[in-house]
């Protein structure tokens, strides 16, 4: 998830769609393996925003 999100930010994408769940392994959705644990989202967003600033030269 993070690798693709960083690639998107690097080419100027201003928004990303990331599926999250409190417990992806026990999700009733078939997307469980592709979901980011909700507890990991704040740190990922911080890293993506920092990467965005670097990519934009700010």
pLDDT digits (tens, 9 = 90+) for 7-40: 999 999 989 999 998 888 877 777 777 889 999 9
DSSP SS3 for 38: helix
pLDDT band at 6 (very low <50, low <70, confident <90, very high): very high
Tokens standing for residue 57: 């030269």
Q: Which residue has the tokens 């934009």?
A: 56
* pLDDT over 90 (residue 49): yes
User: In sequence order, which residues have a C-beta less than 8 Å from that of residue 13 and are 6 or more positions away?
Assistant: none
Contact 27, 6 (CB under 8 A): no
Number of folded domains in the chain?
Answer: 1
Domain that holds residue 32: 2-55
Q: Which of 13-17, 27-31, 45-49, 51-55 has the lowest mean pLDDT?
A: 27-31
pLDDT of residue 17: 94
């Amino acid at each position: 998830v993070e690798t693709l999100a960083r690639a998107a930010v690097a080419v100027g994408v201003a928004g990303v769609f990331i599926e999250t769940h409190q417990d992806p392994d026990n999700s009733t959705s078939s997307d469980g393996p592709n979901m980011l644990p909700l507890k990991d989202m704040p740190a990922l967003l911080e890293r993506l925003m920092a990467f965005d600033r670097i990519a934009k030269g700010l």
